[in-house]
Amino acid sequence: MATLSAVARGRRPGVVLISGAGVAFQINLRALSFVGLAVILLALLSVWAMTLGSFQIAFGDVIEAVLGSGTQQHEFIVRTLRMPRVLVAIMAGAALAMSGGIFQGLVRNPLVSPDIIGIDAGATVVAVAWILNGQDLRWLPLVAFGGAICAAALIYGLTWRGGISGNRMILVGVGVSAVLSAITTFLMLRYPIERVSSAVLWTTGSVYNSDWQDVRVLGVSLLILAPLTIILMWPLRILQYGDDTAAGLGMSVERSRLLLMAAGCGLAATAVSIVGPVGFVAFMTPHIARMLAGPMTGTVMLLSGLIGAIFLLGADIVGQHFLPVPLPVGVVTGVIGAPYFLFLLYRVNARL
């Protein structure tokens, strides 16, 4: 077994270079410390979320119920009613955040996210049509997932001109999103209000009525796509320097870009299919992770996912328990995210 023979400080502060036996890699100690803090904060926030509700449960009793050693009443409330909602918010937030990090790096534009370039709109138009036509809602996540994947394939196909250009993808994505949003509006105007109300609730984004089946779907998706995303951070960073540089280093540019798009679309599509088009999570959280820990690496991508989980769960707690009227989580993230978007747009324009 190879052993590490040397440990040296990297050039960037907070980065340790470990090399030896033909192996070399960097560890971002700053990012790792933030990952540890985020894990602790997420765990505390999750337990606190399960103490809240019309029937309040003590912090320690929630932990006992989660571990299966609480009373039958507490275990039913925590494990059947509250825990699936918390886990769905955590995993959907992580998936959206990691997807946003991929697309922002892929097109080299900090103002890009899956909801801006049309992937969420693809899921929305198909899901709305499904709801308005009175179809079986048990199949809604699968239908919405298919809509998101079809929108991503359409954007990719329209963008392809012997290769993929980031700026062209943004323009095509915004155009596709506008067309799909117009179709969604047209569908809502054609149907009776009693059907439209259910569709409107879905389009705002919500973790209401989450169950263990939703947890399993998101869990399997993250189990497959999250490690793939972290592995793909090296080619993503190389692509930041341009296609010619990446090709000169021996990278298969289009194959790497296609894998990154597949991972980003898969994460976004799975999350949107379960919780609906929750806005600004994919846009905001990669920025926060990069501001805290530096350029996007595997560790920073993991931190981005944790921040997305904290953000979505926290927004759901606020919307569910701390407002005069309970609101879907998508409304809360929109209220927080819109000013942040304007602030970031101002900063980007100020640099030009």
pLDDT digits (tens, 9 = 90+) for 137-147: 888 888 988 99
Contacts of 216 (CB under 8 A, 6+ apart): none
Residue 149 has pLDDT above 60, yes or no: yes
Average pLDDT over residues 23-51: 88
Single pTM value for the model: 0.89
What is the H or E stretch that residue 68 is in? Answer: none
Read off the pLDDT band of 351 (50, 70, 90).
Answer: low
Instruction: Determine contact, residues 75/243, Cβ cutoff 8 Å.
Output: no
Task: Return the structure tokens found at 222.
Answer: 């993250």
What pLDDT score does 4 carry?
37
Instruction: Give the DSSP per-residue string, 174-186.
Output: HHHHHHHHHHHHH
Domain 6-351: CATH architecture, name and number where available: Orthogonal Bundle (1.10)
Q: Report the C-alpha gap between 219 and 217 in whole angstroms.
A: 5
Using alpha carbons, select from 265, 291, 345, 237 the residue that is nearest to residue 98. 265
Read off the pLDDT band of 347 (50, 70, 90).
Answer: confident
Domain residue spans of the chain: 6-351
Q: Report the C-alpha gap between 325 and 231 in whole angstroms.
A: 43
Using alpha carbons, select from 114, 341, 104 the residue that is nearest to residue 237. 104
What pLDDT score does 234 carry?
87
First CA to last CA distance, the chain: 52
Task: Return the structure tokens found at 204.
Answer: 């705002």
